[in-house]
Structures are given as C-alpha cells and as structure tokens.
A and B are shown apart, each in its own frame.
Chain A
Amino acid sequence: AQSVTQLGSHVSVSEGALVLLRCNYSSSVPPYLFWYVQYPNQGLQLLLKYTSAATLVKGINGFEAEFKKSETSFHLTKPSAHMSDAAEYFCAVRDSGAGSYQLTFGKGTKLSVIP
C-alpha cells in the first residue's frame, strides 16, 4: 500500500529564508508524487507534480521539489520565503498502475513565515 510521511507538522521560517518541507513516500510501484497547498479556509491547489519525466520539478510561486528514488523522498523547497507562503502543505502519492484512482495524502505541514 502506498503512503507518504511528512516530517514536521509545523515549520517556521523567517521571511527571506529557505523553505524546506520534507516528504518521504512508500510505494510498491513507481509512484506519481504531488505537492498541494491549502491557504486558510480554501481548497487545495496543486503546487507541482512528479511524473518521472525529470527528477527536479518546478512548480508555481517559486517552489520546486526533487525526486530521490534512493532516499524515497520528494522534499519541497523554495529559496526565499514570502509572507504569502504561509499555508498548509500536503504531499500526496499515487501508484502508477492503470486504473489507480487512489491519491493518498500525508498529514500536512503548516508553514509559518515570520516577518
């Protein structure tokens, strides 16, 4: 069964500092991996996704993530945090098998940005 683990339920960074949100996955087949962001009182929006085309994936708002098979990781980074980045971030995994409809989310990491 597929699963994702997000290390750290809450991460605080100063404005302008590096953002690093950690995600490790467990999947029996090559996975598809996603990062979603949820701003307060809103639904989830896709930040980026990994589909095996390239290990370094660039997303919206300056975020990127690197797929590392040897570490089973898909950590999310941004070089310089903005106040507007404060939100809940979810890593998600989906098996690549045909007809695999299940998207499994991690427990989320709340990012706080300190002025």
Chain B
Amino acid sequence: DTAVSQTPKYLVTQMGNDKSIKCEQNLGHDTMYWYKQDSKKFLKIMFSYNNKELIINETVPNRFSPKSPDKAHLNLHINSLELGDSAVYFCASSQESGHSGANVLTFGAGSRLTVL
C-alpha cells in the first residue's frame, strides 16, 4: 500500500484549461502539503493543511486552490493553466500533533504537469 499517493502521475493539457491533482495518505498523519518542483529541481512549498485547516499559504497565484475534504486527502485545483505552471507537484504528509517539530515529511511520487 502506497503511503502517499497522487493522481494522476502525468498530466498534459492546454493553456487555459482547469485541472486537478488528487492526493491521499494512509499514514494517519494530521498535516498535508503541496510542493512545486520546477525544471531546475527547486522545491517550494505552496500550501499546508493541518487537520483540514489551512496553515501555510505561500505566495501562489489564486488560480491555485487547495481543498482538504478530510485529514487523509488534499487536492489541488488549478484554473486557467499557464505555461509557467508546468512543473512536478509533490504532495507530502507529516504528523505534527504531539511532536517537537523534527517530524519527517513523507512524499508522494509526484505529478508531472505539462502545459502546452
């Protein structure tokens, strides 16, 4: 059983379209994240949810909207896709409650988005 699973793994779409990436974790973690990795491999956090509450919302265009229906799921919806949105998007999760902060993030395998 995959701990953090993302779908789809690959997504090719046209500019202007709307698309979603789904993420599910079966680790019982209370916090989930979306990271964007650009073509130079730079990883930047986009959002984080703790117990379904948004706690990190970095400077990201409002075309990106995360949704966490429950603790085990964090989806990413992107409106009006642009060429610059092409990247690999990683979902991750961690258990924050009751820990000191040295908590390890468990990552999904990534979703490669290509906007044409």
Contacts and interface: CB of A to CB of B under 8 A. Distances in A.
A51 B100 contact: yes
Interface string B93-116: 000100011101101111000000
Interface residues of A, number: 28
Interface in A82-109: 88, 90, 94-98, 100-105, 107-108
A103 B110 contact: no
Interface residues of B, number: 24
B41 A101 contact: no
Nearest to B6: A43
Contacts of A36: 107
B102 A42 contact: no
B101 A94 contact: yes
A18 interface: no
Contacts of B102: 32, 49, 51, 94, 96
A49 B103 CA distance: 9
B109 A43 contact: yes
Given A49-B104, A51-B100, A100-B101, 17 more contacts: A32-B101, A41-B110, A42-B109, A43-B108, A43-B110, A44-B43, A44-B105, A46-B105, A95-B101, A96-B100, A96-B101, A98-B101, A101-B56, A103-B105, A105-B44, A108-B41, A108-B42
